[in-house]
Structure 1
Amino acid sequence: MSVGSASSAVVSGRPWPVFPEPGAATPLRGATTTELIGRGAETAALDRWWAGVADAAGSALVLWGEPGIGKTALLEYAVAAAAGGTVLRCRGTRTEAGLEFAALHELLWPVVDRLDILPAPQATALRGALGLGGEPAARFLVGAAVLSLVSDLARQRPVLVVVDDAQWVDEATAHCLGFLARRVRSEAVGVLFTGYEDPAAGPWEGLPSIEVVGLADDDARRLVDAVLPGADRGLADHVIRTAGGNPLALRELCTLDLRPEPGGAPRRPFGNGAPLGPRLRRAFGARVAAMEPSTRALLLLAAAEDRGAPHVVHHAGSGWGVDPAAWDQVRRSGLLRTSGSRVEFRHPLIPAAVYDGAAFTERQAAHRALADALPEDAAEERAWHLAAAADAADEDVAALLERSAGERLRHDAGPTAMRALRRAAELSPAPADAVRRLAAGARAAWDAGHASAAGQLLDDAERLGGEVIVARHSGGLRGILESAHGVPERAHHYLTRDMTAVDGARCALELGTTAVHAAWSAGRTDLRQQALRRLREVDARVEVDDDPSLTALLPVLRSWWSCYDGTGGPAPAAPDGGADTVGVLGALTWELLPPAPLAQAWGIEGPVLDVLRLRAARLRRRHERSGLAVVLSRTAVLDLAAGRWGGAMTAASDGLRLAEEVGADHVAAQCRTTLAALAAARGDRAVVDEHATRVLQVSVPRGVRALTAEAYLYRGRAALFAGQPHEALHDLTALAEPGHEAAHPTFALLAAVDTAEAAVQAGHTDVAESRLTTVSAWAQRSGAAWARAAAHRLRALVRGGAAAEDAYRAALDVPGAADHPFEHARTRLLYGEWLRRARRRADARHQLAAAAQVFDRLGAEPLRRRALREQDLTNGPVARNATGPSAELTAQELRIARLAAEGLTNREIAARLLISPRTVGHHLANVYPKLGITSRARLARIEFAGELRVGGAGPVG
């Protein structure tokens, strides 16, 4: 019978034995009963089997499966289950496999004093077999003697005969035990074997069997958690995939460095299986060593070929004496099987054992034979086999690998190209060739999203050839790496330095643009101007390269990066941010596009977003994870501004996952700021604080002020929406405070609207006026729709008066303002509040209802509630049929009472309702007698519009 391993069984009430193979199965830690993980079906079968044996229905059972699969653990389970019976046991070993009756001697030695009960011929034969007499042992008599001896023991109590590693039992003992196993059907005797192979043939032929297979993934995870508590999820997943359900492998692999090479690449040149622990290596190696030389050669060729191509293995084996008999032997062993047009090992650990167990010269010969057997169109596979066979520098093989890497890069396989180039560098006789190949490999690693591998390859190349030559071959990768997860000021240094080292104006332009970005991220206007000057020097190289597309774009790039910096100096004209210009830039290289906050500032979000979406699709197809993470982080920001909050959430979450995988810390932080922005608008301050804290942990030590500023911005916005303007101002004004860790001119500009609103609520008119001036100047300079609408809105909010209505209407009517639905709805909310205070209730309801509808669609709960409360106030006094203690309150009194019941102070209520604290006190003085209370504390227990406040004072008298 063949039994799977779908469930686990708890062995209760039995002591757990000490296992000879502690890695094969492990009880869960901390359990009051012992659990053999993932072996519920097998243990249940053993329980049924032993129950029959104990009831005098003797039989044999073979547990078979690959080394380390848990056979010995199940055998020990059976021994524990047989408590109270007689247990005889032995274990086969390779060293004694040639000694006749060696295993039988171990099995019967504990009961050798009982030989006198046997008939004389049997006793004489058994003594001879055990070395206790001089008579030659007749095998039939020996078998009969063992049967008689065990049957006599079974008359007193059930007998369990245990034979572990039966494949190594000497032939004489094997035949004797096979004789015993087939003749105990009416005795209370059970014979339990463990072995590697299906007992369909050999001395155990015809005996019942259980194939012990690998653990299911869930059970494998439980075992890993038990062996290595708190293991990293990624490492645990890799261990589980590598072990293929083998319990001993799971245990041993937990102790090894199993971190894969970039892209999940195996650690061998041709991927010959997983690394093995010493015990598994010995177990598998011993099994292979026992085979015929031609069979071992076949297994080594199959392990080294690693592609499963039978015709290549056949061809290569023809010169090694691999004949049909060898193929028959490996198929019978179950180690290798032919499935369709592929040759496959039964388990991923087997090729590792075969390959590692062979001498280096044998592996060399196997790879050369396979290289010769490959067809002409398999250049890449041939190059790898020759590289695996090489033990010294070889330029021919290195050149083959370099060409194969070039082909891989054209087909979007960066990790494979990286490994090929690294191996080519190792085989390069000339240092200059090694430097070139290492630098190219670093670039391939970076493009594939493996920053740590790229940095290591760059380090190796620079040690060998120096920084300048590596910068040329890698396209200035050092600065690009630093800008992604290092210190922006240091990135600026590398990038501006390498602009003269790289080949071609386009590459220099990319580095210069990235240098400006790094200076912008650091909030360093001086470094930004320096990088812009270096960009102007690219003009001459553009003329030399005769690239007219770049000539027209350089002024646009320089203008984009000259965002408001608060200096008050002359401002360049606004750049042409039309779709044509952005499209041309995107066609050249998306890296030239401005970061999302600058695209917002200039009002060119739409064209930039179109380019980024196209680029994201291409990067996905090419599996360029680093670039895709950057694009997703920028897409999320622009989707957020456009009111596509679901898309922003998806892009930010996907970008965060990718960025963390590739080690792009700054990109991950950018994704977190978008998630914080969404949480701030939705009123989830805990999430805002969590993301802001994680961002600041990265940005502050490295001086990435752009990220620090965003964290402050969305933390301040969350406070503003929660009705806490003073707390909001604390974070928002920091963006414009010279020398502050969050000071950044671009984000001070983008935050000006929030800062002014918080300042108005908190009574800081000077701050509100300064932000109005900032936004108005930028609106005039850029012509961006958001800035023009914001300038009108702030003018109405800050200055009020008779002109306020015209300003609000102008803000709503700005062409393109409605493309930013959240900000457009905020304008309607402020306008509706102004109309309500002007007692134009019908007009106010129209604006407030429109705002509430948008907030509801977006999930902006704090502002939705604010809009609905304002709508309530437009209805005047509560309707006469209202019930409860609040029925006599006016709408304003009811609103103030609700806010006071929530615990807000008079000043905070005044800021929320845009009235004076004195007016709040006046209304509360009217509320108390109407409600029949005498203090503010009792408001907490009053029912307002069906909402019961809990906490606070006791019942109202």
Structure 2
Amino acid sequence: MELFGRRAELAVLDGLLARAAHGSGSGLVLWGEPGIGKSALIEYAVAAASNAVVLRCRGTRMESELPFAALHELLWPVVDRLETLAAPQAAALRGALGMSRDQAGRFLVGAAVLSLVSGLARDRPVLVVVDDAQWVDEASAQCLGFLARRVAAEPVVVLLTEHEDPASGPWETLPALAVTGVAEDDARKLVAAAVPGADEALVDRTVRAAGGNPLALQELATLEHGSDDHAPPEVGPRLRRAFRDRAAAMTPPARALLLLATAEDRGDRHLVQRAGAQWGAGSSTWDEVLRSGLIRATGDRLEFRHPLIRAAVYDGASFPDRQAAHRALAAALPGDAVAERAWHLSAAADGPDEEVAALLEEAAEQCLRRSAGPVAVRTLRRAAELSPTSADAGRRLAAAARAAWDGGRAGAARQLLDEAEGLCGERAVVRLSGGLRGLLEFADGIPERAHRYLVYDMAEVPDAVRAIELGTVAVRAAWSAGRPDLQQEALEQVRAVRTDGEDALAELVPVLRNWWSCYDESGEITPASLDLDSRTVGRLGTAAWTLLPPVPLVQAWGIEGGLLDVLRVQAAQLRRRHELAALAMVLAQTAVLDLAAGRWAAAEASAAEGLQLAGEAGADHVAAQCHSCLGLLAAARGDSRAVAEHTTQILEVSVPRGVRALSASAYWHRGRAALFDGRPQEALSDLRCLADPVHEAAHPTFALFAAVDTVEAAVQAGDTGLVEAQVDRMERWAKRTDAPWVRTASHRLRALAHGRTPAAEDSFRAALDGVGADPFEYARLRLLYGEWLRRARRRADARYQLAEAAEIFDRLGAVALRSRALREHALTERPASSRAPGPAAAAGLTAQELRVAALAADRLTNREIAEQLLISPRTVGHHLASVYPKLGITSRAELARIDFAAGLRLRPAD
């Protein structure tokens, strides 16, 4: 049928399809009330995309509880293309589609769907159509949202229809187009097309009643044609009444069969037939139902002509009739369909019912085993509603809260915990949820408050393993807050946990005590004796992520050893279980270790994925950790703008909540960015905050890491007052831990403290002999040594060190420091005697005088020039005093007019 009054909408669809034909894809959500014409626009797009591969599915109310149901319908026509995918993606998608027992992590499934669709699009454009997206199951919705947000560079269009404004929900970031009613002129044309020869009175009544809704215009005109009732039904209740009246005109067996079809909601014709057979519905009944025009059968599927018909028939039935329909459908289901049976029986329940609640709880457990956390949450909530006692309802709500947290929905978890505590009390919920309140507070709240919750909850949880997990997170929260006293308090609680009969746990407790002993000044613990390559690593790889300390602290002790392997094992386990918030935290820590090992691309990928997961989970602290890793990487690359963006994001979260570890990381990254950009005074202003006990960014661990940067900035800025204290801090830590990186850093700081004296060289060489695995810091050390050698006029030795440093910086992508190394390297070169003198040489300028003059011509002050060239402002003045007579000028203003790029020629005056 012709579309009336849809010129603007059709132009949008035509534009999307045209851009896709040229390789630029997009997603679009068409939303509006039922019957407004969304499906008609979808059909137009399908017809217009004649050269495209079309993949279609429709959301249904019943299948909204079945993970990947919509994805199954969408991809089944191209399931043979699974063989073209990488093995992990193919396995994940087979598991999601029910073709294997493989457990499917949501993000791997999403990546597999994207790869599959992109592969199809290499041959011709792809149109993905999802009608009634409000009923799409959550697992499919996440995958489809993942796909729609990533097709900008592919010839793929993803079209979805929704009843509500998608400003919130799975489609919230996609472009949306509101589909509204048609104008009166177009409405009249539509009625005339639906009922040829309709008189003006019928057209007028229909247009007035329908309010521009195309379905209402067609249905009302059809229903009224030939009717003696001249009172037009209104849109809404009266339109639904019109549909119910059509159903009411059918025989009782046909009405019963129609009600079964509305209650079933998945369009499973065979299930409706089995349930209908219990009520005596035979072939003649089916014929009557299909002749009504309200429903049609295609193969083994049943489809209503429009969702409004389903709603009208179902809502119009009495509650006892709906109960009977759901019970009949539950009885007709196969024995292994636990979830579907549970939901049908819950729809039939008219009050508390422990038997149905227990069945729903069993279904939720199955969902959790399939990593279908969001469905489990809804199922447990419904089980709580049907629970006869407050204790059972609270228990199920607490389990739902835990499932919501594991699934990355912190806000929902908090709300469920509040409801559970209102039913059965705070202490009971602590036991039932495993101390979830403290974990939520740790993830996105105030760390000192999280510490209080967790320490209290240790005594409430029923087993030693969970108590030690909570205690470990409590110590971690205190470390994040920069509170050694609270950290020690929580550590004592961990030590006090009885591990009788828990052999594996008894082995872990000493390790945890050592790891968390950063502020234990008693000296009784010697973590340098730890061996993370021992069997302890294997034990940690299967333990909870909560037992792992933050990577910066492990790095400070120099015992990271096999921790990266442990984290990767943890990440794989969390992916399989679809525990998004925990996975984001592990990815953030993995990124730090990859960054320290020089695997910058891997670090960036892990931090970016962790940031996305943390944002979706509402885990603000984890998101800030990911920003911290990306900020550290940006500083090393010399990208000051990115550093400013990431650190601003960190401080917006960390400062109001008192998360000093995050605030300290932000100030550290800003200081490093300024230092690498040749702004030592600005760098020093940020870096000195880390050791200032009253500052919001004060944190001992990060002050230790920043010591090498602080001393370098202080030396360049001529502020030697800080140097000795920083050297002493590092040497004391080296004696305590004997960590290789700390010994190297101590020699490096001592070399900087020695300045230009010969004693500095011994310290530089000692530092180079003991350098660790971080190639970036190794290159920085060689750069510092090369600069010292150049100032000592040992040009050949300096060239070697500087060239090596520049090569490493180039490989890593550290742009600013590579430029600095190359500038220093250029200053070590002597012009060949046979070479014709250049303009600078002809004027008698040395290489250093030329650099000073060029920077002065760019209007830099003597101090700024000194900072860039690592010389004193007095030396800059001396060089300029030599430059002026050689160039025949007398002032800095004349120097600014000299074009150094054009052979020292004088620029014309303005």
TM range (shorter): 0.7 to 0.9
> Which residue is 1:520 aligned to?
479
| Aligned with residue 525 of structure 2, among 572, 575, 597 | 572
> Which residue is 2:27 aligned to?
none
| Aligned with residue 470 of structure 1, among 429, 432, 441 | 429
Task: Judge conservation of contact 1:632–1:651 (CA < 8 Å) in 2.
Answer: yes
Task: Judge conservation of contact 2:541–2:569 (CA < 8 Å) in 1.
Answer: no
CA deviations 1:888-916 (Å, max 9, x no partner) are: 43221223234334443222322333321
Query: Cα 1:941–1:477, aligned 2, differ >3 Å: closer, same or farther?
Result: farther
Give the SS at the match of 1:780: helix
> Which residue is 1:905 aligned to?
861
Query: Cα 1:401–1:108, aligned 2, differ >3 Å: closer, same or farther?
Result: closer
- Measured in 2, the distance between the counterparts of 1:592 and 1:109 equals 72
What displacement does 1:385 show? 1.3
What displacement does 1:917 show? 1.0
Query: Cα 1:329–1:2, aligned 2, differ >3 Å: closer, same or farther?
Result: farther
| Aligned with residue 832 of structure 1, among 786, 793, 803 | 786
Moved more, 703-712 or 800-809: 800-809
Give the SS at the match of 1:605: coil
- Measured in 2, the distance between the counterparts of 1:806 and 1:67 equals 71
**Residue 369 (1) aligns with residue 331 (2):** no
1:8 partner letter: L
Give the SS at the match of 1:819: coil
| Aligned with residue 550 of structure 2, among 595, 599, 618 | 595
| Aligned with residue 800 of structure 2, among 846, 858, 864 | 846
**Residue 411 (1) aligns with residue 367 (2):** no
- Aligned ranges 1:478-627 → 2 under 5 Å: 478-538=437-497, 541-543=498-500, 546-563=501-518, 570=523, 572-575=525-528, 576-580=530-534, 581-627=536-582
2:427 partner letter: V
Task: Judge conservation of contact 1:878–1:891 (CA < 8 Å) in 2.
Answer: no
Query: Cα 1:632–1:346, aligned 2, differ >3 Å: closer, same or farther?
Result: farther
Query: Cα 1:881–1:72, aligned 2, differ >3 Å: closer, same or farther?
Result: same
> Which residue is 1:805 aligned to?
761
> Which residue is 1:123 aligned to?
none
1:572 partner letter: I
> Which residue is 1:868 aligned to?
822
**Residue 106 (1) aligns with residue 201 (2):** yes
- Measured in 1, the distance between the counterparts of 2:379 and 2:599 equals 43
2:677 partner letter: A
Task: Judge conservation of contact 1:682–1:862 (CA < 8 Å) in 2.
Answer: yes
Query: Cα 1:37–1:773, aligned 2, differ >3 Å: closer, same or farther?
Result: same
| Aligned with residue 788 of structure 1, among 743, 751, 772 | 743
Task: Judge conservation of contact 1:583–1:607 (CA < 8 Å) in 2.
Answer: no
CA deviations 1:90-128 (Å, max 9, x no partner) are: 7999xxxxxxx9963616999xxxxxxxxxxxxxxxxxx
1:459 partner letter: D
CA deviations 1:207-262 (Å, max 9, x no partner) are: xxxxxxxxxxxxxxxxxxxxxxxxxxxxxxxxxxxxxxxxxxxxxxxxxxxxxxxx
Task: Judge conservation of contact 2:34–2:308 (CA < 8 Å) in 1.
Answer: no
- Measured in 2, the distance between the counterparts of 1:798 and 1:353 equals 83
Query: Cα 1:501–1:929, aligned 2, differ >3 Å: closer, same or farther?
Result: same
> Which residue is 2:599 aligned to?
644
- Measured in 2, the distance between the counterparts of 1:911 and 1:171 equals 86
User: What residue ranges of structure 1 are gaps of 5+ in the alignment?
Assistant: 11-20, 28-35, 44-64, 80-86, 94-100, 111-161, 176-277
2:525 partner letter: P
Task: Judge conservation of contact 1:91–1:163 (CA < 8 Å) in 2.
Answer: no
Query: Cα 1:311–1:77, aligned 2, differ >3 Å: closer, same or farther?
Result: closer
Query: Cα 1:318–1:42, aligned 2, differ >3 Å: closer, same or farther?
Result: closer
What displacement does 1:333 show? 7.0
- Measured in 2, the distance between the counterparts of 1:781 and 1:449 equals 40
How many residues align? The count is 741
Task: Judge conservation of contact 2:899–2:907 (CA < 8 Å) in 1.
Answer: no
TM-score by length of 1: 0.71
Query: Cα 1:610–1:351, aligned 2, differ >3 Å: closer, same or farther?
Result: farther
- Measured in 2, the distance between the counterparts of 1:330 and 1:71 equals 32
**Residue 928 (1) aligns with residue 884 (2):** yes
- Measured in 1, the distance between the counterparts of 2:495 and 2:734 equals 27
| Aligned with residue 358 of structure 2, among 394, 399, 408 | 399
**Residue 705 (1) aligns with residue 814 (2):** no
> Which residue is 2:185 aligned to?
76
> Which residue is 1:694 aligned to?
649
Query: Cα 1:379–1:8, aligned 2, differ >3 Å: closer, same or farther?
Result: closer
1:923 partner letter: H
What displacement does 1:628 show? 1.1
Task: Judge conservation of contact 2:745–2:767 (CA < 8 Å) in 1.
Answer: yes
> Which residue is 2:725 aligned to?
770
1:819 partner letter: A
- Measured in 2, the distance between the counterparts of 1:441 and 1:781 equals 46
> Which residue is 1:154 aligned to?
none
Task: Judge conservation of contact 1:706–1:742 (CA < 8 Å) in 2.
Answer: yes
| Aligned with residue 745 of structure 1, among 685, 700, 714 | 700
**What CA RMSD, in Å, does the superposition of the two structures yield over aligned residues?**
3.9
> Which residue is 1:271 aligned to?
none
| Aligned with residue 275 of structure 2, among 316, 319, 340 | 316
What displacement does 1:349 show? 6.5
Task: Judge conservation of contact 2:840–2:903 (CA < 8 Å) in 1.
Answer: no
CA deviations 1:606-662 (Å, max 9, x no partner) are: 511111112212222222111111111111222111111111111111111111111
| Aligned with residue 8 of structure 1, among 10, 15, 35 | 10
- Measured in 1, the distance between the counterparts of 2:903 and 2:634 equals 25
> Which residue is 1:450 aligned to?
409
- Measured in 1, the distance between the counterparts of 2:278 and 2:732 equals 83
What displacement does 1:588 show? 1.9
- Measured in 1, the distance between the counterparts of 2:721 and 2:451 equals 37
CA deviations 1:347-395 (Å, max 9, x no partner) are: 6676555544544333322211111111222222212211121121111
- Measured in 2, the distance between the counterparts of 1:734 and 1:532 equals 27
| Aligned with residue 217 of structure 2, among 158, 165, 169 | 165
- Measured in 2, the distance between the counterparts of 1:708 and 1:911 equals 27
What's the % identity of the aligned pairs?
59
- Measured in 2, the distance between the counterparts of 1:67 and 1:417 equals 24
> Which residue is 1:208 aligned to?
none
- Measured in 1, the distance between the counterparts of 2:200 and 2:742 equals 94
**Residue 669 (1) aligns with residue 633 (2):** no
Query: Cα 1:939–1:165, aligned 2, differ >3 Å: closer, same or farther?
Result: same
Query: Cα 1:350–1:840, aligned 2, differ >3 Å: closer, same or farther?
Result: farther
1:895 partner letter: R
What displacement does 1:417 show? 1.8
Give the SS at the match of 2:527: coil
What displacement does 1:535 show? 0.8
Give the SS at the match of 1:8: helix
Task: Judge conservation of contact 2:740–2:772 (CA < 8 Å) in 1.
Answer: no
What displacement does 1:40 show? 10
- Measured in 2, the distance between the counterparts of 1:916 and 1:504 equals 65
Task: Judge conservation of contact 1:852–1:867 (CA < 8 Å) in 2.
Answer: yes
- Measured in 1, the distance between the counterparts of 2:190 and 2:296 equals 37
- Measured in 1, the distance between the counterparts of 2:724 and 2:3 equals 79
Task: Judge conservation of contact 1:559–1:572 (CA < 8 Å) in 2.
Answer: yes
- Measured in 2, the distance between the counterparts of 1:648 and 1:870 equals 30
Give the SS at the match of 2:182: helix
- Measured in 2, the distance between the counterparts of 1:811 and 1:361 equals 83
What displacement does 1:931 show? 3.8
Task: Judge conservation of contact 2:391–2:424 (CA < 8 Å) in 1.
Answer: yes
Query: Cα 1:332–1:680, aligned 2, differ >3 Å: closer, same or farther?
Result: farther
- Measured in 1, the distance between the counterparts of 2:203 and 2:361 equals 65
What displacement does 1:681 show? 1.7
Moved more, 725-734 or 598-607: 598-607
CA deviations 1:536-574 (Å, max 9, x no partner) are: 111xx202xx11222222122122122268xx7647312
